Structure 1
Amino acid sequence: MGASHGHFTKEELQEYADLTYFSKKEVLRIYRRFRQIDPDTRIQNRYAAISCEKVCEIPELRANPFRDRICEVFASSSDGTFVFEDFLDMISAFSDLAPKSTKVEWAFKIYDFNGDNSLDYADLEKVVNRLTGDSGKLTSAELRQLIENMMQEADMDDDKTLSYAEFEHVIARCPDFVSSFRIRL
């Protein structure tokens, strides 16, 4: 292996740069940021894990109504922890340089609460409730009508769910999607 940049070899840094939308220098900056998330945990290497709860509390996610889902979807482990590669994947997907297709793919996973690879009524209800928050709570009738309207507009095959392709078609008509689906460190 080649020379080291502290925690990474040149080859490892190059691989991270090739697999993300970042330069090697930016990967190192993101690694430093990852290590700052939980100062109580002595992160000695990039394989050290921190809790998803700690990741959810970073200022860039703290106000996001989907922060727990974002962490759940990007965490490669089922034990509620995040390693550096999970964090790098998350920041890469939310970066300004990530293409719309990448952002749509991750948004679909975040909104698919039950993990069945489709967005059903229950998924959309959770999405709407998180977006409206406590102050903008809709009545049950308003919520039902809104979701029925969404399904009528987007459910092309009338199966009462939105497939990835149907979701992608809807997002294609949302000009603000790319600019709202981002995290800047």
Structure 2
Amino acid sequence: MGNKVVTFTEEQFDAYQDCTHFTKKDILRIFQRFHKLQPNVIPEEMSEEIASTLKMSTCFLEEMPEFKENPFNQRIFRVFSADGSAELTFNEFLDMFSVFSDSAPRELKIAYAFKIYDFDEDKELGRSDLNKTLRCLTRNELTEDEIDFVVDKVLEEGDFDQKGSLSYMEFEHIISRDPDFLSMFHIRI
């Protein structure tokens, strides 16, 4: 009889399955990815306390293929870290993968996209947020005039209340018309 390491209790699995879009197998696969980032630090057995307190440093998260070239990686980590530090506990890491999974509802993905693009975290996408988002999306390949032109067009098309920024509802309206949004806002496990 071999020694089998029990990573999570049944209660933990039940809780994870209730609040994510994953099966037990998916949860274990995601844990293995988390563990491999720092195998000398992340224990193979994850108590509820360790899963919610032990944080993965951003420098290790950035090495994941999905985030290595992603211009939004720091914003994504910051949005999913409860304390805004951009360092993630396993629970936060699992939540992040759940939102980016194929089975996450479109509405959830839109809500997180809005948070990621809201750089100043004022619950509006103002000119500055749209400017930074566009710079990330184009990898700084546009001139200032081109960026201003695109930001003006986005606000012209989507800013229904003429406040000079996009509310969540206005952003949702714009994104709902983008057929490529779901394919772009996704990570395979």
Partner of 1:71: 77
Contact 1:52 1:81 in 2 (8 A): yes
TM-score (norm 1): 0.91
TM-score (norm 2): 0.89
Matches within 5 A, 1:84-99: 84-99=90-105
Please identify, of 125-134 and 107-116, the stretch whose mean Cα deviation from structure 2 is larger. 125-134
Partner of 2:19: 19
> 1-side partners of 2:85 and 2:62: how far apart?
15
- Name structure 1 gaps, 5 residues minimum: none
Matches within 5 A, 1:144-183: 144-183=148-187
Instruction: Name the SS of the counterpart of 1:115 in structure 2.
Output: coil
Matches within 5 A, 1:15-164: 15-39=15-39, 41-44=40-43, 45=46, 46=51, 47-134=53-140, 137-164=141-168
Please identify, of 87-96 and 7-16, the stretch whose mean Cα deviation from structure 2 is larger. 7-16
Partner of 1:9: 9
Cα deviations by residue, 1:75-123 (Å, 9 ceiling, x for unpaired): 1234442110010000000001111001000000000000000100000
Contact 1:56 1:71 in 2 (8 A): no
> 1-side partners of 2:18 and 2:59: how far apart?
29
> 2-side partners of 1:139 and 1:78: how far apart?
31
> 2-side partners of 1:183 and 1:101: how far apart?
17
> 2-side partners of 1:77 and 1:168: how far apart?
26
Q: What letter corresponds to residue 9 of structure 2 in structure 1?
A: T
> 2-side partners of 1:38 and 1:157: how far apart?
48
* RMSD of Structure 2 on Structure 1 (CA): 1.6
Q: What letter corresponds to residue 178 of structure 1 in structure 2?
A: L
> 2-side partners of 1:79 and 1:123: how far apart?
20
Cα deviations by residue, 1:27-81 (Å, 9 ceiling, x for unpaired): 1111111111123x42123242111221122111111111111011101234442
> 1-side partners of 2:37 and 2:114: how far apart?
26
Q: What letter corresponds to residue 88 of structure 2 in structure 1?
A: F
> What is the number of residues matched between the two proteins?
179
Partner of 2:188: 184
Cα deviations by residue, 1:115-147 (Å, 9 ceiling, x for unpaired): 00010000000011111114xx22222211111
Overall identity of the aligned pairs, in %: 42
> 2-side partners of 1:184 and 1:80: how far apart?
21
After TM superposition, which residue ranges in structure 1, 4 or more long, deviate above 4 angstroms?
none
Contact 1:21 1:97 in 2 (8 A): yes
